[in-house]
A and B are shown apart, each in its own frame.
Chain A
Amino acid sequence: MIYLDQAATSYPKPAAVIEAVCSALATAGNSGRGVHGMSLAASRLIYQARWELAEFFGASDPSQIAFSANATESLNMALLGLLEPGDHVVTTELEHNSVLRPLYLLQKRGVEVTVLPADYQGRVDFSALAAASQPNTKAVVCTHASNVTGNVIDLDYVLDFCQRQRLVSIIDGAQTAGWYPYNLTKQPIDILCFTGHKALLGPQGVGGIYVRPGLKLRPLKTGGSGIKTFSKTHPETMPEALEAGTLNTPGVAGLAAGVRYLREVGLAHVRKVEGELTQFFFAEVKEIPGVTVYGDFTDQERCPIVALNIAGVDSSFLSQLLAEKYNIATRSGGHCAPLMHRALQTDKTGLVRFSFSHFNSKAELEVAVQALAEISEEYGPEGDG
């Protein structure tokens, strides 16, 4: 199989990730729930993972990183834990439902939400932030890169605006953690939400949230923490404040192994390979009759995603053909970003997303290009299918 659905979940995982998950399953107890060898091994493993993630993201304090199940859970922690009735928050049409649905829920509870529009190429003009701001604005929440087009936002502009206006910046790094070289010591990101199973190359079911020191979130969940047993309230100290219940220790072990792998290979190398693959694929597919590619490709810094349709071919059918006839894995239909689809005018049609990792090869992409050309010829605007 040619796996071009890396933005959904990365594949293959490095061997070290699989080994780390298996090793944790074989050896780790429950972190913080005892002082026997297996429990301490789990506690040490999890602290080591926190430490390595902090280093990877350039964060000064590992305890400001809490583990979660995924980016969705982290975004829920951030939004539901920060915003209160009467607050105002600004977001964008680029957002995934992991941002939009918690915001719609908060709207019902009395939080005001302003959504900055995206143009037909999925670009957001963040100079509109100033006009969108109100006296009760508390935060800006936005994805760092669209999961539909791969376009990256002007993060520096957003962070600078938030810092000057004293707004909390909440960044959805679902597509960018493991791709973009964050430096949380230098960049004034207040909250970074990430998942472990995409560009960080870890297993599914583990993610995390970085919270700037001094910023407190109401915990989404309360319960077991391994500390303060006789207190009726959940501990407020990070990271335990956001980690009620037993952590996914094997998942955390795998995530840490993914980060170690990326540091060994080098993020610059990963980005270079993925950038070249993306530009090659874009250059080839845009010449195929009937193909529309979505997003802005004038910007070289973009996540390794190419989303497209072929005129006259249902996007689900296209993805199905690619899977069944050519053994190529892509994602079709809607991509959990409804406002973005409207901006791109693909809300009725959906689209097919090709997404790459440095594990993919140019030869694999050539096969995919040839498949698209054949499908276009048979089923597209000039086809007879």
Chain B
Amino acid sequence: MQAVLTFHSTTEAMAFERACKELGLPGRLIPMPVAISAQCGLAWLIGPEDRNRLLEQAQKLGLKYERLVELK
């Protein structure tokens, strides 16, 4: 199942994207479905196969995001 990471702010999303690009971590920015959050207009889309790896790395590196939301 695909999932998105949401962010508190555009700056947080940009910092996340920059870190992922530098470290070769999977995912990409997409528009945030309003039904999920109105916090930031951006979300980080991740496929099911990448999810655990990305979350592990995010935690390890202290990358900030708001929350993980499953896409149904």
Q: Which residues of A contact B (CB under 8 A)?
A: 31-35, 40, 43-44, 46-48, 50-51, 62-63, 226-231, 235, 237-240
Contacts and interface: CB of A to CB of B under 8 A. Distances in A.
Interface in B8-57: 8-15, 17-18, 29-31, 38-42
Q: Secondary structure of the B side of the interface? A: mixed
Contacts of A33: 41
A79 B29 CA distance: 37
Specify which of A46, A228, A231, A239 lies most central, judged by the most chain B CB atoms within 10 Å of its CB. A228
Given A35-B30, A35-B31, A227 B18 contact: no
Nearest to A39: B41
Given A35-B29, A43-B13, A62-B15, 15 more contacts: A33-B41, A35-B41, A35-B42, A43-B10, A44-B14, A44-B17, A47-B14, A48-B18, A62-B11, A226-B40, A227-B10, A235-B8, A237-B8, A237-B11, A240-B11
A201 to B, nearest CB: 24
Nearest to A50: B11
A43 B8 CA distance: 15
Range class of the B interface residue count = 10 to 19
Interface of B: 8-15, 17-18, 29-31, 38-42
A230 B12 contact: no
6 contacts: A32-B40, A35-B41, A51-B18, A63-B11, A227-B40, A237-B11
Contacts of A43: 10, 13-14, 42
Contacts of B8: 227, 235, 237
Contacts of A238: 11
Contacts of B15: 47, 62-63
Contacts of B10: 31-32, 43, 226-227, 240
A235 B39 CA distance: 9
B9 A47 contact: no
B5 to A, nearest CB: 14
